[in-house]
Amino acid sequence: MTISDRQYRHLTDVRVHEPASIAKAMAGRRRREQLTRDGALFIVAADHTARGMVGLRSDPRAMADRRSMLDRLLTALENPRVDGVLASADIMEDLVLLGALEDRVAVGTMNRGGLAGATWELDDRFTAYDTDHLVTANLDAGKMLLRIDGADDRTVPTLHACSEAVRALNDRQMMAMVEPIPYTKDPSGAAVWDDDPERLLQAVGVCAALGGSSAYTWLKIQATADIAAVAAMTSQPLLLLGGAPGPDPEATFASWERALSEPTVRGLVVGRALLYPPDGDVSASVDRAADLLSHAASGRPS
């Protein structure tokens, strides 16, 4: 789907002339009665720019064009298997003004203060939604990122803030989507993913136990080679993250297919890998992922 000049101009005009109408549009959004239709979720992620992630592959401005990003999101949402979006408030509000969030699952991103490449990256402050504003905005869930580095004490405030957010979301009976990622330092001292499978198991265990209840907690995890061990760490529903698009899309789809066969793996939360595929065909990429998820859901006992 392509946004017209009039539609895109309207997004700015509303902010200039009728900003109060945005909250009304969010409050009036028609929501689903249940998050899932068949026990699985397919969420398209668009919260990367909120923590300074703009470049992709060799293009430092790949995600810098908001109109292009919205076009891609609307294309993804045309697939009936796609349940909704994960986004910061600015993108969520653009989508509701475009009428794209009716009967969709809207997941607000929460901690985006750990800016990509910043020296304080692991101290990931809550600079986007908090629980009260998720409720006010009539959203369905809140997502948080918890990077864990045992050698970096900036992990601690993020760990505490995430536990408080999980507690608050559970109290409101809203999904808390928690993304556990083990981190370490590269030779230059920069924070990077730690691909040690034992560290991922530990991180999943920590995030599964956050807060005073896990009733509404879903975990967002990477589709690792040892996905069976990761999936066995908890009975909580797991959603596969996409991460940065790799050089071999077929290998990525194959890893998702393997992971979706695990009983606790209940869906996908994918952004860049589908919205910015190497061949530029967003619709085909989304269709492919949707087919994998539909196949997995149909084979799962009800």
Instruction: Residue 256: give its domain's CATH number.
Output: 3.20.20.70
Q: What domain count does the chain have?
A: 1
What confidence tens digit (pLDDT) does each residue in 240-269 have?
998 767 678 889 999 999 999 999 999 999
Residue 298: CB atoms within 10 A of its CB come to: 9
SS3 letters across 247-282: CCHHHHHHHHHHHHCCCCEEEEEECHHHHCCCCCCH
Residue 220 within a domain? yes
| Contact by Cβ (8 Å): 57, 277 | no
Distance CA 228, CA 130 (A): 33
Distance CA 68, CA 74 (A): 10
> Which domain does 188 fall in, by range?
39-281
Distance CA 182, CA 152 (A): 11
Sign of CA dihedral 150, 151, 153, 157: negative
Is the pLDDT at 301 greater than 70? The verdict is no
Across the range 217-235, mean pLDDT stands at 95
- Mean residue pLDDT across the chain: 95
Residue 27 within a domain? no
Residue 277 within a domain? yes
3-state SS class at 56: strand
**Residue 143: band (very low, low, confident or very high) from pLDDT cuts 50, 70, 90:** very high
Residue 13 within a domain? no
Is the pLDDT at 302 greater than 70? The verdict is no
- Exposure string over 191-207, b if 16+ CB within 10 A, otherwise e: beebeeeebbbbbbebb
Residue 18 within a domain? no
What confidence tens digit (pLDDT) does each residue in 50-107 have?
999 999 988 999 999 999 999 999 999 999 999 999 999 999 999 999 999 999 999 9
Residue 259 within a domain? yes
Longest dimension (CA), the chain: 54
Residue 268 within a domain? yes
Residue 82 within a domain? yes
